[in-house]
Homo-oligomer: A and B are copies of this chain.
Amino acid sequence: MGGNGPEVVATRQVHQGRIVSLRLDTIRGPDGALLEREVVEHRGAVAIVALVRPDAVVMVSQYRHAVAEWLLEIPAGTIEEGEDPEWCAARELEEETGYAAERLRRLFAMYTSPGFCNEVLHIYVAEGLHDGTVNRDPDEEIEVVEVALADVPAMIHDERIRDGKTIAALLAVIAAS
């Protein structure tokens, strides 16, 4: 499968923000007609499966304003301008959970919502955890919890875990174990 994408005829920046920007592209469709495409631009992010024991993972519970709910997620964060994703993963893990990792291993990368957003999420497995330094943003209210990997499938099924990156990353680690 392949071929290049359609010609972009015009582009307009609607919003340039702290976490996301929004761009409206006018493209020429397969039949020649002009179509509008909304593109949410994001710098990319990392998420970390931090194995506090071989069979348990460190998770964070936090309020997510966009969905107006407390969610149970694996530690994650947005990549700073020019930052290496692996460095970002080490930084976010320690800032959010207080754990430093001896080893970080890249699992895979994925697009979170490729229908309208260019966010790439790089997922790492962290092992050899030891105490580091918690350093949260002043607006981050986070509770750190340990979850047994064996409990994860049931927690996805009954939607105690309902964050997509967390589901993808934890199931990948379980499948490989």
Contacts and interface: CB of A to CB of B under 8 A. Distances in A.
A40 B66 contact: yes
Q: Chain A interface mostly helix, strand, loop or mixed?
A: mixed
Given A25-B65, A66-B115, A109-B159, 17 more contacts: A1-B61, A5-B63, A14-B15, A18-B38, A20-B116, A29-B138, A30-B139, A30-B141, A37-B66, A39-B66, A66-B113, A69-B114, A108-B167, A110-B163, A117-B117, A167-B171, A175-B175
Interface of A: 1-3, 5-6, 14-15, 17-20, 22, 24-25, 27, 29-31, 33, 35-40, 42, 45, 61, 63-71, 73, 76, 78, 108-119, 121, 138-139, 141, 143, 153, 156-157, 159, 162-165, 167-168, 171-172, 174-176
Q: Count this chain's copies in the assembly.
A: 2
A47 B109 CA distance: 20
